[in-house]
Amino acid sequence: MTSQVTSHGFTLSEMITIAGLSNLEVISLSGNNLNNSMLSSLGGLSSLKSLYLRDIGLNGTVDVEDYRGLKKLNALSLWHGIETTDATIFLQSTLRLFPSLKTLDLSYNSFNRTMITRELHNLTTLEELILDGSKLHISFLQTVATCTSLKHLSMIGCELNGISEVQGPINFKKLENLIMDETTFNNSFGQIIRPIATLKMLSLHNCGLNGTLYDQGFCEMVHLEELDISYNALRDTLSPCLVNLISLQSLDISSNQITGNLSGLCEMVHLEELDISYNTLRDTLPPCLANLTSLQSLDISSNQITGNLSSSPLKDMTSLRVLRISDNLLQIPISLSPLYNLSKLKEFVSYSNPIYIETMPHSLTPKFQLNSISLSGYGYGATFPRFLYHQYDLHYVDLSDIKLNGEFPNWLIENNTKLGGLYLSNNSLSGPFLLPTHPHMNLSVLDISINSFSGQIPIEVGAFFPSLWALNISRNALNGSIPSSFGDMSLLEILDLSHNQLSDEIPEHFGDMSSLISLDLSHNQLSGEIPEHLNIGCLSLEYLVLSNNSLEGPVFSKIINLTNLVSLYLDSNNFIGKIL
């Protein structure tokens, strides 16, 4: 028996099923190929509040009367669907039918001067409008400004046309959040949009802005709580007018051309997050920076700031949780003793600063328990900093390039059960490669390359580090056989054992590392043939480096199944056979 088909193209049973979903409040049909007739059947869902129709390829016509049952609808998404005349008519009709919408997402569409102008103007309750990735004429934005209840406007990555035709800046009345990241302006923001007194959050990341902070009109938005103007070409000192922003809690001016020093920010006492990295700030940190008693996150990386951490105001900023000071000219004591009173500190990042050893030893212990530390720079051969022995909550440790002396810090792994990444590359560590007393279940990256570790790789290494996905122990003085327990590392993707003194054959168990993408065993003393199991189990291999060993036998018959290989280095071995 054939099912009866309704005028909307549904079988009767399908209509009954849809009508039966009487409690449905949210429905998403995104990413399908639906016609408008099918959408008409949704009119019976009287409880529906949110309807998401992203990228559905609207086609055909629709009788908007079928939607009158959606009396509670307050959120509508028509993302990347307005490409045809029928679709435009559908949008216009829909907006007329639902003048009480609060949220409207029209991302990745194109709107000219007059499209849906009247409809937008009549949306008197609209609070949130999302136009990300759309092509807009500036006059369309002027229409948007007439939505008197609009509080949130997102225009990320928009193509804004007709800017040269602007007759005075656009005036938004009640807007609180404006996001225009990666939307390029040909002139200043202040010339296009009038300073908005009600604005609380403004994000203009990577918009090609130039000139000064004052020119853009930012300093007139006195209720701003968040301001992101990162990755632009603003050329200025830290304008004194910023002190007008007495409510500002988050400020990101990173990756501009800001000069001078930080003293212009000392009166912004409500700041909680400050990122002014990748500029050209100079001089020492001003003592008044300690006035920012609410500051929790500070990033001053990649400037030209000088001075000594011991005499900086950073030691008094006890609210800090995140401190990033990389790539400056700051002198950092390897003990980090000036920061011991920062009891809330969780993340410390200092790459490429000069690191020195204090002449007077101390017995203090830090009040902080770090989650992450990166202390990499110009070192002078110190031993492991004493404060690390008191850390038990580390997730990430990078102590590369500072010429540390001593043995492998298995105690650091034992004390920190959540440790996920340990980087000790390019130091002066020596002695054996020591395992912790118990298997570590969370360590995923271990890099101890470019040191002087000697002796054999522990035979149980695979069982003690079962969660590793990257292991680099290259450029040491390790000898003996490669342990077969490497095969227990089922998650391992990157393994580099090159530039050691390893001997004997490549273990067959290497073939058990099915996730392996990169394997470098070059510059050792390995002998024998390429194991058959490698050709069976390591089918994900893209990079295989076996150069400068004493390997022999046929080659290509042993790797014929490794069809994902991108780079293959077999130089300076004793292989035989034909290249077919």
For the entire predicted model, the pTM comes to 0.88
Give the SS3 label for residue 140.
helix
Residue 53 tokens, joined: 């129709």
Question: What pairing do the DSSP bridges indicate for beta strands 525-528 and 501-504?
Answer: parallel
How far is Cα 170 from Cα 90, in angstroms, rounded to an integer?
28
How far is Cα 502 from Cα 477, in angstroms, rounded to an integer?
9
* Ramachandran quadrant class, 380 (left: phi over 0; alpha: psi -120 to 50; beta: rest): alpha
For the beta carbon of residue 497, count every other beta carbon within 10 angstroms. 23
Which of 212, 225, 260, 265 is closest to 242 using CA atoms? 265
What DSSP line would sit under 213-244, residue for residue? TTTTTGGG-TT-SEEE--SSEEEEE--GGGGG
Question: How open is the CA angle 405-403-445, to the nearest 5 degrees?
Answer: 90
Give the SS3 label for residue 85.
helix
Q: Which residue has the tokens 């990257």?
A: 470
In 123-220, which residue ranges form alpha helices assigned H by DSSP? 138-144, 189-192
**Do residues 278 and 301 lie in contact, with contact meaning Cβ atoms separated by under 8 Å?**
yes
**Do residues 509 and 481 lie in contact, with contact meaning Cβ atoms separated by under 8 Å?**
no
Residue 343 tokens, joined: 């009891």
pLDDT by residue, tens only, the chain of 580 residues: 444 433 333 343 444 456 667 788 888 877 776 655 566 667 777 788 888 877 766 555 556 666 777 788 899 888 776 766 666 777 787 788 888 899 999 898 887 777 787 888 888 899 999 999 988 888 888 888 888 899 999 999 998 887 777 677 788 888 999 999 998 877 678 778 877 888 999 999 999 888 888 778 888 888 999 999 999 998 878 777 787 888 999 999 999 999 988 888 888 889 999 999 999 998 899 999 999 999 999 999 999 999 999 999 999 999 999 999 999 999 999 999 999 999 999 999 999 999 988 876 667 899 999 999 999 877 777 889 889 999 999 999 999 999 999 999 999 999 999 999 999 999 999 999 999 999 999 999 999 999 999 999 999 999 999 999 999 999 999 999 999 999 999 999 999 999 999 999 999 988 889 999 999 999 999 999 999 888 888 999 999 999 999 999 888 888 888 999 999 999 999 988 766 5
What DSSP line would sit under 301-340, residue for residue? -SSEEEEEGGGSGGGG-TT-SEEE--SSEEEEETT-GGGT
